[in-house]
Amino acid sequence: MAIGVFDSGVGGLTVHRKLAERFPSADLVYLADQANAPYGGRPGEEIVELTRAGCDRLFDQGCDLVVLACNTASAIALRRLQQTWLPQRRRELARPVNVLGLIVPTIEAATGLPWEHEAERRGDKVEKLDILAVFATPATARSRVYEIEIDKRRQDVAVFVEPCPDLARMIEDNAGAVELAQAVETHVAQITARIGRAPDRAILGCTHYEIIADMFRAALKPGTPLIHQPDATAAALAGYLERHPEIDPGSDGLRRFLTTGRPGAQHDLVQTFWEGPLSFEPA
């Protein structure tokens, strides 16, 4: 058996890399739905259907567990699939398959609180607001998941979300460094103007953006801490596997990279991030 890692494209590689470091002997199958990327500008129903199809492909490849290394799929599709599709799929496959997202671990990392914690609403005056900027796809931004879930837990944190409609596509298309840096600077300037000052912390709330994290670091106020989704997701998976011994992550250290798009060598931006050649097989 194996663990599946799913994204619309190459962004989930940022999560895959941390999972591979943390679970060197696990068998990992990565699926990029590049035929349909990016997801961030699509209507919700399409995102749900594409995510379901991606999870199914990974179950067919022998994965018991799929990690959605994609904020858009996690924000829009995960709860729906867990409630309406997975129970029946488990019965059909007669295996304990499951799908996990990365928003819960990111919110836990951002709040410093376990997911189960909900703050008592006491209406106390908050003396100092911790301003958290989230850069995300339009679909993730529209879901308001970061504002809602953080506000439930921490009233001293104010969340501002900046939708970045073109960034994931530019990264998929191997856009040049100058063009990418300009786009990032524009988004940082926009959110800073909206807040009225520089944010105290930031979440790169689309896994594609982690590939160009240095550009965000350069555009944000020097030293702005970034909450690191790949680390948070790897830590959450470790806890999950401990609590669920029925999930078999495999033990051969197998690495497979599948795409629904054009197979073959990935482009320069990805290989630079990957620090070596990376080739995808047809899904």
Return the active site residues: 70, 206
* DSSP symbol at 29: E
- Give the contacts of 242 (CB within 8 A, at least 6 positions apart): none
The Cα–Cα gap between 115 and 170 comes to 33
The Cα–Cα gap between 235 and 131 comes to 25
Smallest separation, CB 31 to ligand DGL (Å): 13
Residue 34 near ligand DGL by CB under 6 A: no
> What would the DSSP string read from start to end of 83-144?
HHTHHHHHHHHTS--EEE-SHHHHHHHHHTS-TT-------PPPSS-EEEEEEE-HHHHHHT
Q: Interacting stretch for ligand DGL, rule CB under 6 A, among 151-159, 203-211, 216-224, 269-277?
A: 203-211
Q: What SS3 class is residue 277? A: coil
In the region spanning residues 94 to 153, those forming contacts with ligand DGL, defined by CB under 6 A, are 137, 140
In the region spanning residues 61 to 100, those forming contacts with ligand DGL, defined by CB under 6 A, are 70-72
Among 4, 38, 101, 249, binds ligand DGL (CB under 6 A): 38
Question: 226 to each of 71, 168, 173, 209, how far by Cα in Å?
Answer: 16, 18, 25, 12
Smallest separation, CB 95 to ligand DGL (Å): 27
Cβ atoms of residues 155 and 119 within 8 Å: yes
Q: What are phi and psi of 70, to 5 degrees?
A: -150, 120
Q: Which is nearer to ligand DGL, 72 or 259 (CB)?
A: 72
Q: Which is nearer to ligand DGL, 108 or 248 (CB)?
A: 108
Smallest separation, CB 147 to ligand DGL (Å): 16
Among 206, 215, 247, 270, binds ligand DGL (CB under 6 A): 206
Q: Which is nearer to ligand DGL, 207 or 250 (CB)?
A: 207
Residue 40 near ligand DGL by CB under 6 A: yes
Smallest separation, CB 206 to ligand DGL (Å): 4
Q: Interacting stretch for ligand DGL, rule CB under 6 A, among 5-13, 19-27, 149-157, 255-263?
A: 5-13
Paired with 226 in beta bridges are 202
Cβ atoms of residues 54 and 33 within 8 Å: yes
Q: Which is nearer to ligand DGL, 23 or 209 (CB)?
A: 209
Q: Where are the beta strands (DSSP E) in the chain?
A: 2-7, 28-32, 63-68, 98-100, 130-136, 157-163, 201-204, 226-227, 255-259, 264-265, 279-282
Residue 207 near ligand DGL by CB under 6 A: yes
* DSSP symbol at 42: S
Among 4, 8, 164, 216, binds ligand DGL (CB under 6 A): 8
Lookup: tokens for 283 = 């899904």
Between 168 and 187, how does the x/- string for binding to ligand DGL read (CB under 6 A)?
x-------------------
Which stretches of the chain bind ligand DGL, using CB under 6 A? 7-9, 11, 37-40, 70-72, 137, 140, 168, 206-208
